[in-house]
A and B are shown apart, each in its own frame.
Chain A
Amino acid sequence: MNTDKSKFIFVIACFAALAAWPFMAGAYGVDLVTKIMIYAIFALSLELLVGTTGLVCFGQAAFFGIGAYGAVLLSPESGSASLLWLLPACILLAALYALAVGALSLRTKGVYFIMVTLAFAQMAYYVVHDTPLGGGTDGIYLYGKPSFAGLIDLSQGLQLYFFTWLCLLATFVKLAVLLKSRFGRALAGIRVNEQRMRATGFSTYPYKLAAFTVSGGIAGLAGFLFAVKDGYVNPELLSWHLSGAVLIMIILGGLGHLRGALIGAFAFALLQEFFKSESIFGNFARHWHLGLGITIILSVALLPKGLVGLPAQWRDRLLGRSARARGAVGESR
């Protein structure tokens, strides 16, 4: 298995590479990676629920969308809002909705929980879809992008890139610290055996609710960045397709590891770009879903632990360990 040190080096190398990227890539590359980093933040928020706590939330897009809509609706009609209050306000909005949703839906378990979170996300979706509040199906534009005291101006592609990079780093570090804390250990305990956690004297409900709220806030941060990047929001940001896509990202990357969410977001988005590129596939690029679908099916067949498990799988193959031993190692993640 990977040692803690090699994981640490891997993550540092990833962030260093991301920081160096704008100096090598053109405007398109910067824009693409900004988008992927936003997805990575979004995926990290879900990883806290699914991979750490074992709560499969199928309505994560609602928090993402609320953050995005918050950024647009709270901004003044002309001029730009200050980042100083707009960003916390958006995160707070998403976290508040998560608190309300979590308080109710955590009464259910398993597949029922999946569906209740979906139900609440669909409610939020229909509110922005069917009411004039957020421009209905057409969506609305964000004219003045937020700035801060003349120092930060997020309408600049590069500034937005590094601001997103910083947000991703902060989210990653915050979650990494959180998971090492007593709170994080309790969440992992809940995933493995909630009954036993209760028997040891933990009241599990507040822990799960806190995780749910934090996760909603982080998803709101991702949504905020997305709205600022595109300058446009529409109800699709809250649709279950997006909730599904982010779930697919973290499963693809490998559950139970923060870097899995990171890898998954990049793998998913880059695969999409790859199969969509007309220079490689020509006219067939129109049917990019086919390649993506087949890749996903193959990854399930070949990578039972997700992309994160790949190095260990290769090492085991080289060392000739049996599949049984590999399974046993995998269990003790």
Chain B
Amino acid sequence: MDFATFLIQCLNSLQYGLLLFLVASGLTLIFGIMGVINLAHGSFYMIGAYMAYALAPFVAATFGGGFFSTLAVGLVLAVLLGYVLEWVFFSYLYEREHLQQVLMTYGLILVFEELRSLLVGDDVHGVKAPDILAGTLPLGELMTYPVYRLFISGVCLLLALGMYLVFTRTRLGMMIRAGSTNREMVQSLGVDISFLYRVVFAAGVAIAVFAGMVAAPVSSVYPGMGNTVLIICFVVVVIGGIGSIRGALVAALLIGFVDTFGKVLLPSAAGVLVYVMMALILLWKPDGLFKAG
């Protein structure tokens, strides 16, 4: 492997890892703070990707905008979706056992997948990257690297930075951190916990949808894409330590590198490497790398 290839794989790993981080951060927040195992989280990623595909014509016709307007419209819809979902389906689940939540969110996956099939169909679609970002950058003498992938990494990094600032610098972030450590105490200190839950859930959904929309031009849009992401995201959450955003970032990057380099160096064992890594890490640290609280 020469240096240029190595560099390209590193960039790919980074991009994949950061994207995973976006989806997994919502999952770990929802689990860490609300105590809900949300199997439907992968569906939000899928919904995002399909929005990028299906909303584009509408947005172009109504607002005359391109990819970025679609992103904005999608984000607004995602926040609404998350807010309504929390209100209708999740708000009465907090008192229930975890496994009841698993059952219900499994039902939601089935419903989302079929609604997608009814509305958009079962075909695989491609989404075009916006023209400004469609070019490539030269790397070395022979290789090039698509600008759009760099854009993904950049946007994810910005979002991660934004989340970091919200968590460490704002009152909302303080309440969220406190909530993931001790829910009852936060509630008894007078924080409106149901509003906090709704905000966290809507934010988690919005981030996952956003990740799906941004990823659509690279990964293409296909049925069942949510389930693959879901399982990998659970791996991220668990390796990182449940409820820990920092852990999710480290674990997502780790998985990004292991998976990408595994596919290059050991193609026959690529699928299993991530799981071997998870098993080893959990046997070494049964509570994940950075346990919250």
Contact = CB atoms under 8 A, between A and B. Distances in A.
Nearest to B39: A244
Interface in A271-317: 287, 289-290, 292-297, 299-301, 304
A300 B103 contact: yes
Contacts of B113: 289
Given A107-B286, A127-B272, A112 B238 contact: yes
Contact of A297 (B96, B107, B242): B107
A123 B100 contact: no
Interface in B268-289: 268-269, 271-272, 275-276, 278-279, 282-283, 286-288
Interface stretch (B114-122, B134-142, B197-205): B114-122
Contacts of B278: 115-116, 119
A109 interface: yes
Q: Is the interface of A mostly helix, strand, loop or mixed?
A: helix
B103 A251 contact: yes
Contacts of A50: 99
Interface in A181-235: none
Contacts of B89: 297
Interface string A243-275: 010011001100100000000000000000000
A130 B107 contact: no
Given A123-B275, A129-B271, A293-B109, A255 B99 contact: yes
A95 to B, nearest CB: 20
Contacts of B110: 289-290, 292-293, 296
Count class of interface residues, chain B: 35 or more
Interface residues of A, number: 42
B288 A247 contact: no
B254 interface: no
B220 to A, nearest CB: 21
B99 A251 contact: yes
Interface string A118-143: 11101100110111000000000000
A120 B279 contact: yes
A109 B92 CA distance: 26
Contacts of B287: 112
A300 B286 contact: no
B286 A294 contact: no
Q: Is the interface of B mostly helix, strand, loop or mixed?
A: helix
A247 B279 contact: no
B251 to A, nearest CB: 12
Interface in B89-108: 89, 92-93, 96, 98-100, 102-104, 106-108
Contacts, number: 117
Contacts of A301: 92, 104
B231 interface: yes
A108 B115 CA distance: 37
Contact of A304 (B96, B109, B115, B235): B96
A294 B108 CA distance: 8
B50 interface: no
A130 B269 contact: yes
A255 B279 CA distance: 28
A260 to B, nearest CB: 12
B114 A240 contact: no
Contacts of A175: none
Nearest to B92: A301
Contacts of A287: 114, 117-118
A293 B114 contact: yes
Contacts of B103: 248, 251-252, 296, 299-300
A177 interface: no
A84 interface: no
A111 B243 CA distance: 12
B279 A104 contact: yes
B106 A244 contact: yes
A131 B275 CA distance: 17
A49 interface: no
Interface string A96-109: 00000000110111
B99 A130 contact: no
Given A297-B104, A297-B111, A300-B104, A112 B282 contact: yes
A301 B101 CA distance: 10
Contacts of B275: 118-120, 122-123, 126
Task: Name the residue in A56, A104, A287, A290 with the highest tally of chain B Cβ atoms < 10 Å from its Cβ.
Answer: A290
B37 interface: yes
B107 A296 contact: yes
A115 B282 contact: yes
A255 B97 CA distance: 11
Task: Name the residue in A104, A122, A127 with the highest tally of chain B Cβ atoms < 10 Å from its Cβ.
Answer: A122
Interface string B250-276: 000000000000000000110110011
Contacts of A130: 268-269, 271-272
Nearest to A131: B268
Contacts of B53: none
Given A111-B37, A111-B242, A126-B271, A293 B279 contact: no
Interface in A45-68: 50, 56
A240 B234 CA distance: 13
B106 A296 contact: yes
Given A126-B272, A289-B113, A297-B111, A107 B283 contact: yes
6 contacts: A109-B286, A115-B278, A294-B107, A294-B111, A297-B89, A301-B92
5 smallest CB-CB distances across A and B, nearest first, come from A293-B110, A296-B107, A290-B114, A293-B111, A126-B272
Given A115-B234, A300-B104, 17 more contacts: A108-B282, A116-B279, A116-B283, A118-B275, A119-B235, A119-B282, A247-B102, A255-B99, A290-B114, A292-B107, A293-B108, A293-B111, A294-B111, A296-B104, A296-B106, A296-B110, A300-B100
